Structure 1
Amino acid sequence: MTPPGDGTRTTPARRPTIKDIARRAGVSESAVSFALNGRPGVSQGTRDRVRRVAEELGWQPNSAARALSGERSGCIGLVLARPAHTLGVESFFLQLVSGVQEALAARKVALLFQVVEDVDAECAVHRRWWAEKRVDGVLVVDPRTHDPRPELLASLGLPAVVIGAPAPGEDDPQVSTVWADDTAAMASVLVHLYDLGHRRIVHVAGLPGLAHTERRIRCLRTEAARLGLKHTRSVTTDYSDAEGAEATRRILDDPRPPTAIIYDNDVMAVAGASVAAERGIPVPGRLSIVAWDDSPLCRVTHPRLTALVRDTSGFGRLAAKELLDRLDGGPVRSVQAELPHLEPRESTAPPS
């Protein structure tokens, strides 16, 4: 064995070919092709021998060749159109992709993932993947208001599942959806704070233009009106800890600051709690905090943060299984995931 670093270049392993299988099995290349593609023309004994040799050599079908022959690529696509700097700090997508991958791995289907700047760039990726037959279907996240993606994917005939309910009136019967009821979840948070005695509540929301952001803002406004809360509002951010902290500073600088803040993710909630600590504002003594998605961050922060709990990995598994079902000929449908439930912890209490 040559020791590393002596300047000797290692020859890359060569991928086994149909010719290698034919030579090892003692048959013609055409017989190998028939056997591996399940076509008639060879005996069962030859078919078994060829497949055994292919497995021994570690042979795998070429994805480009399969695409040209009309076979599936064995790959599902996921494009994320969000600022790249926000991905490393938010646990939601890591958990979601974990669930997606778990479901796909059970079927030996690969996940092709790409991050782009905006929805136009995402649409371009979908067109390219469709033209190159790179993926059998796609998962779509972050539904927008006036979203062009469902119509595009339907026109391409590319099976898709949208994760998250579309904006009201923008349902596309040609594209499946998997969603959770953000409206009911927001209502449960607001009622929890109202029952504790809070009357000045601010919502630090995520990216404007996302269907779920607009839905949460709209629900907050509706529920606040129903409860007679006149000092309740929403501000939008990019979901990052930096913008969450900056929004918290502006909110706390108000002449009449809120007694409770709802954050649209765990990272912003922890950043907000840090800002409160910097200013000597006790949580929950003078400020109650609620995080939209629960995570280990919420449970290790002191005080532990009240949060909405949902099975995000399960959400990803559900979406991936729905797309696999579409690829197997299943119908287009809308599937509602389990409603997130509020887990009260030490960060919420009656206002002093």
Structure 2
Amino acid sequence: MRRTPARRPTIKDIARRAGVSESAVSFALNGRPGVSAATRDRVRRVAEQLGWQPSTAARALSGEGSATVGLVLARPARTLGVESFFLQLVSGVQEALAARRLGLLFQVVEDTDAECALYRRWWAEHRVDGLLVVDPRDGDPRPALLAELGLPAVLIGAPGHGTAPHGGALSTLWADDTGAMASIVDHLHTLGHRRIVHIAGLPGLAHTRRRIESLRAEAGRRGLPEVTSLTTDYSDAQGAEATRRVLAADPPPTAIVYDNDVMAVAGLAVAAERGVSVPGELSLIAWDDSVLCRNTHPAVTALVRDTAAFGRRAAEHLVALLDGGPALDVRDPLPRLAPRGSTGPAPGP
């Protein structure tokens, strides 16, 4: 007599046996905060009793899955070699994936169309079990595509307002750009700055738009009429060129906010080249901190956050989805502004 194969236990089975929610099971099994130590121990005991195994590992052993996660960057490749943010992000991602014996498939493409085409190919070839998606855009086609393909994903950098956009297993993890920009403007306003320029990143990115809109809103709230934003490709070359352009204005800004560390350091070099004293005549702030910011003279005031931990949390949320957990919308802790030698009181009129 042929026996029916035993059904593999799921997170739902563990939740029912342990008397907790499915999200609590996901948190407990993935070592994430949000449940008590007692609940974590109970869930793990039940999982062991039921013989539960992470679905990604089981799928890989059975040949049904790849035990691999995909990450695609649709940016000019020349801008990535000197920017520390993505290196730190990927290091955190890799740390979390390695703990679960998952691989990372990484590729750089020219634009979003190429990224979507790559997702379709990976899906057709069973190359990845899930995706980490970065640089959300206005009118972004990727969430709908991922729902169509049925690929679990974490969208990094866009608030989902508590729902999975377009349905499907899509979690969101995002930083509060609005709050971060408010802390920057508050710092500069307290120092007496009234002419502020924001040298932003790529146009079309959702976080670029949020930062620009937040700068305008904060400036309007404080009655600062001379505030502008310029977009770039994040490179040192375009950061330097934008700095030269704004410093040639009459009158020039007394403070410049850069969307990454590389452009801020390039801007500092341009100020030295033009004989502009920092911070005596010009204050500079970088959006993301790095060793570059801390080792220039003067050291650059910057927003500080643990980018590797940010990447680690993103990967953990994706693993939770692969294990059958619910889609979540998660806001990361607000970055902290670290005042350093590049910011000081605004010069006189």
Q: TM-score range by the shorter chain?
A: 0.7 to 0.9
Among residues 328, 342, 345, which one is paired with 1:333 in the alignment? Answer: 328
Please tell me the residue identity of whatever aligns with 2:150.
Answer: G
Please tell me the residue identity of whatever aligns with 1:267.
Answer: V
Q: Which residue of 2 aligns with 1:84?
A: 77
The Cα of 1:219 is off from its aligned counterpart by: 0.3
Q: Which residue of 1 aligns with 2:256?
A: 261
Please tell me the residue identity of whatever aligns with 1:254.
Answer: A
Q: How does 1:36-185 map to 2 (within 5 A)?
A: 71-166=64-159, 172=165, 173-174=167-168, 175-185=170-180
Rounded to whole Å, the distance in 1 between the matches of 2:281 and 2:229 is 20
* 8 A contact 1:143–1:167 mirrored in 2: no
Rounded to whole Å, the distance in 1 between the matches of 2:259 and 2:173 is 20
**Is the deviation greater in 66-75 or in 97-106?**
66-75
* 8 A contact 2:159–2:329 mirrored in 1: no
1:244 corresponds to 2:239: yes
Q: Which residue of 2 aligns with 1:204?
A: 199
Please tell me the residue identity of whatever aligns with 1:165.
Answer: A
The Cα of 1:67 is off from its aligned counterpart by: 7.4
- Label 1:166 to 1:211 Cα distance change in 2 as closer, same or farther (>3 A): farther
Superposed CA RMSD in Å reads 1.9
Rounded to whole Å, the distance in 2 between the matches of 1:211 and 1:171 is 17
Match of 2:124, SS state, is helix
Q: How does 1:192-341 map to 2 (within 5 A)?
A: 192-341=187-336
- Label 1:170 to 1:286 Cα distance change in 2 as closer, same or farther (>3 A): farther
* 8 A contact 1:144–1:166 mirrored in 2: no
Please tell me the residue identity of whatever aligns with 2:75.
Answer: R
Match of 2:190, SS state, is helix
Among residues 317, 342, 346, which one is paired with 1:347 in the alignment? Answer: 342
How many residues are aligned here? 288
**Structure 1, unaligned stretches of length 5 or more?**
1-65
Q: Any idea what the Cα deviations from partners look like across 1:17-37, whole Å, max 9, x if unmatched?
A: xxxxxxxxxxxxxxxxxxxxx
* 8 A contact 1:239–1:268 mirrored in 2: yes
- Label 1:201 to 1:171 Cα distance change in 2 as closer, same or farther (>3 A): farther
The Cα of 1:70 is off from its aligned counterpart by: 5.6
* 8 A contact 1:146–1:170 mirrored in 2: no
Please tell me the residue identity of whatever aligns with 1:106.
Answer: A
Please tell me the residue identity of whatever aligns with 2:278.
Answer: V
Q: Which residue of 2 aligns with 1:45?
A: none
Q: Which has the larger radius of gyration?
A: 1
Q: Tell me the percent identity.
A: 71
The Cα of 1:350 is off from its aligned counterpart by: 0.4
Q: Which has the higher contact order (CA 8 A, sep 6+)?
A: 2
The Cα of 1:72 is off from its aligned counterpart by: 1.9
**TM-score, with structure 1 as normaliser:** 0.79
Q: Any idea what the Cα deviations from partners look like across 1:42-96, whole Å, max 9, x if unmatched?
A: xxxxxxxxxxxxxxxxxxxxxxxx7796622110000110000000010000000
* 8 A contact 2:302–2:339 mirrored in 1: yes
**Is the deviation greater in 71-80 or in 234-243?**
71-80
Please tell me the residue identity of whatever aligns with 2:299.
Answer: R
Match of 1:254, SS state, is coil
**TM-score, with structure 2 as normaliser:** 0.80
The Cα of 1:337 is off from its aligned counterpart by: 1.1
* 8 A contact 1:73–1:136 mirrored in 2: yes
Rounded to whole Å, the distance in 2 between the matches of 1:167 and 1:204 is 27
* 8 A contact 1:77–1:139 mirrored in 2: yes
The Cα of 1:299 is off from its aligned counterpart by: 0.4
